[in-house]
């Protein structure tokens, strides 16, 4: 039995991992996946075990406040990250600590007793959650974690009479957690915004009037009405009316788009102004909004290599520092008492205090909190910009890409071909011949010729048509034998013709074995493609273009983009071979949109699908999806990935560097408890605030 639940009040990626591991231990449960980003828990197991109440009990053995609910209850359980009662309680904790501090100067015994009681009460208010977690972990045999270190260090500080310092550790740790909660909430908001784009109702026009139905119930050809303020339920084409559409939730673009008769609209867009009628072009399961939801629901949130390293690091780091603290507290005094001939008891008090300071310093909170948070923030920031990453590991992979390989048609170009030039003594006649020969073809080249002709061909005059794969078309129009295609077609029929080095796709036309001329067809380069290529080259990245189009067409586009490295006449196997060859030397990303790009998207170190109109197969194979098919989003995604990794490594070196220096000072007796507090919770707060900078990624110029 497989079932999904909503899991609430979990704001720590490390805690999520612990909960997942704990649920895996339950007899009868065979698989567990906790998606920290979407607050979703999926379990596979025996029906009598897989209940929300039972799973919540297991999860609360790790994280006391966790709530696990059936999905239909989840929407009624959205709570603030800190309730009003919690704010009041923490405010009371501060007041109690201040009152206790004011009693410090009095020598009256009963006032001093009250002072100690007040300090302990304040400590309990701020630290009870840490102590509960530490206690539960000890019962489960998981002693060496950050909660245990903080509890031992602060209890030791209290024993030594350093109440303010003990309270400060817990107080600042709670501030760090709160800042983390804010950052996680912001990321979740960005990710969930994409999941809220599904329309709930569609207004279908029937012979009996307008009928409300689910988007899943629509079929191709249905006419639906979209009122102002409503979401477009499925992909379609406007048949009546005009309006402005907000597509930001789908594409990440803030500028509304004009929608009028004949314009295609995508599901998930919001109608801002006028009432429009839309003809359904795709059923819901094939529409844009379903692709997005399916992509988000099926990602696995794989941990990045850096996260895995920090998980292993923390696992061995904590018991090592506890062992060093024990040696510092009890072994070093023995050694020094022999050398210096000083009493062991006098040295013990000094070194026990140093060991406690050492424990406070050594807490790995900054790393445990900030590293997963940085990747999570990066995914959330990208989602807001219309770029979906499957996992933190894909974000990490993009930051290390050295070679970008772009597919041409539909990625760097619009995929909209236009007749650019007709070279012939009789241009109108050659266009007429080509249009009638291409009349029944669905190829984009044929469509461009028909668009240029501007009239509907007279089908009754086309006597025969035969398509010759990879060459062109042979047709009989009004008794005239036509050949319309590439050089190979004319060579096969031994027709003498004028070869051209014109850039673009060349369509040669011959009538009754006589060469008449040729048509030059060009694809439109996307407006942001050149900017994207220029910026990547400035960053010293290799950039290549692959295309299944002819050499002349590929050369034309590469010339417009300022690219020297391109490959033409590529079938899917050629693209795989090219990417595999690059992988031997450099880490490579492939960016494509077509169904034939799916194999190479899966082959590359990182596959990026242009997903707004891309195929399902391409999206499934990719590691990231760009929702509005804008190649500049590749640059934005790379920028977010690089910034995320910079912040991750900043936090690692910042935390380990400061802790390493202060640990040495603490062991030698030069670090106070306040310095220890800064090295622990102070560094944690700074690391979390540094991670939150990911949301402020600057716009590319």
**Would you name the residues annotated as active-site residues?**
407
Cβ-contact 687, 363 below 8 angstroms:
no
Q: By C-alpha distance, which of 381, 384, 403, 405 is closest to 392?
A: 381
CA angle at 247 for the pair 697 and 413, rounded to the nearest 5°:
80
Tokens for 248? 């930001």
Maximum distance among all alpha carbons in the chain? Answer: 120
β-pairing verdict for 542-546 and 403-407: parallel
- The interaxial angle of helices 683-691 and 163-195, nearest 10 deg, is 10
How is the beta sheet containing 236-240 ordered, strand by strand?
209-213, 202-206, 223-226, 276-280, 236-240, 264-265
Tokens for 65? 């406040």
Cβ-contact 534, 445 below 8 angstroms:
no
Question: What does the alpha-carbon distance between residue 550 and residue 558 come to, in Å, rounded to a whole number?
Answer: 12
Cβ-contact 30, 43 below 8 angstroms:
no
Q: How many CB atoms lie within 10 A of CB 454?
A: 8
Cβ-contact 156, 356 below 8 angstroms:
yes
Cβ-contact 328, 667 below 8 angstroms:
yes
Q: On the CB side of 94, how many CA atoms lie within 13 Å of its CA?
A: 9
Phi/psi region, residue 4 (left: phi>0; alpha: psi -120 to 50; beta: rest), is beta
How many Å from the N-terminal Cα to the C-terminal Cα in the chain? Answer: 52
User: Which residues face 482 on adjacent strands?
Assistant: 475, 511
DSSP state of 679: I
Q: How many CB atoms lie within 10 A of CB 498?
A: 9
């Amino acid at each position: 039995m497989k079932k999904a639940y909503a899991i609430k009040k979990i704001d720590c990626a490390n805690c999520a991992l612990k909960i997942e591991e704990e649920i895996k231990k339950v007899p009868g449960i065979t698989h567990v996946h906790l998606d920290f980003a979407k607050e979703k828990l999926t379990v596979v197991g025996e029906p009598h075990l897989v209940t929300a109440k039972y799973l919540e009990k297991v999860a609360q053995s790790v994280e006391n406040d966790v709530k696990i609910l059936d999905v239909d209850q989840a929407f009624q359980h959205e709570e603030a990250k800190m309730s009003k009662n919690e704010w009041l309680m923490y405010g009371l904790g501060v007041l109690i600590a201040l009152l206790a501090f004011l009693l410090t100067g009095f020598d009256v015994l009963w006032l001093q007793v009250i002072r100690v009681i007040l300090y302990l009460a304040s400590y309990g208010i701020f630290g009870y959650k840490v102590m509960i977690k530490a206690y539960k972990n000890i019962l489960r045999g998981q002693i060496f974690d950050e909660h245990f270190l903080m509890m031992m260090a602060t209890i030791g500080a209290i024993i030594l009479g350093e109440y303010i310092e003990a309270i400060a550790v817990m107080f600042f740790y709670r501030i760090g957690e709160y800042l983390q909660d804010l950052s996680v909430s912001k990321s979740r908001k960005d990710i969930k915004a994409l999941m809220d784009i599904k329309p709930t109702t569609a207004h279908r026009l029937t012979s009996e009037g307008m009928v409300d139905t689910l988007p899943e119930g629509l079929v191709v050809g249905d006419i639906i009405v979209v009122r102002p303020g409503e979401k477009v339920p499925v992909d379609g084409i406007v048949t009546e009316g005009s309006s402005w559409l907000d597509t930001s939730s789908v594409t990440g673009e803030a500028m509304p788009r004009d929608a009028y008769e004949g314009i295609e609209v995508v599901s998930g867009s919001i109608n801002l102004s006028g009432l429009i009628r839309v003809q359904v072009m795709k059923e819901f399961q094939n529409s844009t909004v379903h692709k997005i939801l399916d992509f988000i629901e099926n990602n696995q949130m794989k941990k990045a290599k850096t996260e895995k390293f920090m998980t292993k690091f923390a696992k061995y780091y904590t018991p090592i520092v506890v062992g060093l603290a024990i040696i510092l507290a009890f072994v070093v005094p023995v050694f020094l008492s022999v050398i210096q001939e000083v009493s062991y008891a006098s040295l013990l008090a000094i070194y026990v205090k140093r060991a406690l300071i050492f424990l406070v310093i050594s807490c790995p909170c900054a790393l445990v909190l900030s590293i997963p948070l940085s990747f999570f923030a990066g995914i959330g920031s990208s989602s807001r910009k219309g770029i979906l990453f499957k996992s933190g590991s894909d974000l990490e992979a993009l930051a290390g890409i050295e070679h970008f390989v772009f597919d041409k048609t539909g990625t760097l170009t619009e995929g909209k071909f236009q007749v650019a030039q007709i070279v012939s003594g009789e241009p109108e006649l050659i266009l007429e011949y080509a249009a009638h020969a291409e009349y029944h073809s669905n190829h984009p080249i044929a469509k461009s010729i028909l668009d240029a002709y501007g009239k509907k061909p007279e089908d009754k005059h086309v006597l025969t048509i035969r398509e010759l794969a990879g060459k062109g078309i042979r047709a009989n129009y009004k008794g005239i034998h036509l050949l319309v295609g590439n050089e190979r077609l004319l060579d096969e029929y031994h027709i003498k013709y004028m070869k051209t080095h014109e850039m673009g796709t060349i369509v040669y036309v011959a009538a009754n074995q006589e060469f008449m001329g040729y048509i030059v067809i060009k694809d439109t380069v996307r407006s942001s493609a050149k900017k994207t290529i220029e910026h990547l080259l400035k960053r010293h990245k290799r950039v290549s273009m692959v295309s299944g189009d002819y050499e002349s067409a590929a050369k034309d586009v590469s010339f417009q983009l300022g690219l020297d490295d391109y490959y033409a006449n590529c079938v899917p196997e050629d693209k795989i071979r090219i990417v595999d060859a690059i992988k031997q030397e450099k880490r490579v990303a492939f960016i494509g949109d077509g169904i034939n790009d799916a194999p190479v998207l899966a082959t590359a170190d990182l596959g990026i699908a242009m997903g707004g109109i891309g195929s399902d197969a391409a999206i499934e194979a990719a590691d990231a999806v760009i929702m509005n098919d804008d190649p500049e989003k590749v640059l934005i995604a790379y920028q977010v990935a690089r910034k995320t990794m910079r912040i991750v490594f900043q936090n690692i070196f910042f935390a380990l560097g400061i802790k390493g220096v202060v640990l040495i000072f603490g062991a030698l007796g030069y670090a106070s408890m306040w310095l220890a507090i800064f090295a622990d919770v102070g560094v944690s707060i700074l690391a979390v605030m540094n991670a939150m900078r990911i949301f402020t990624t600057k716009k590319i110029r």
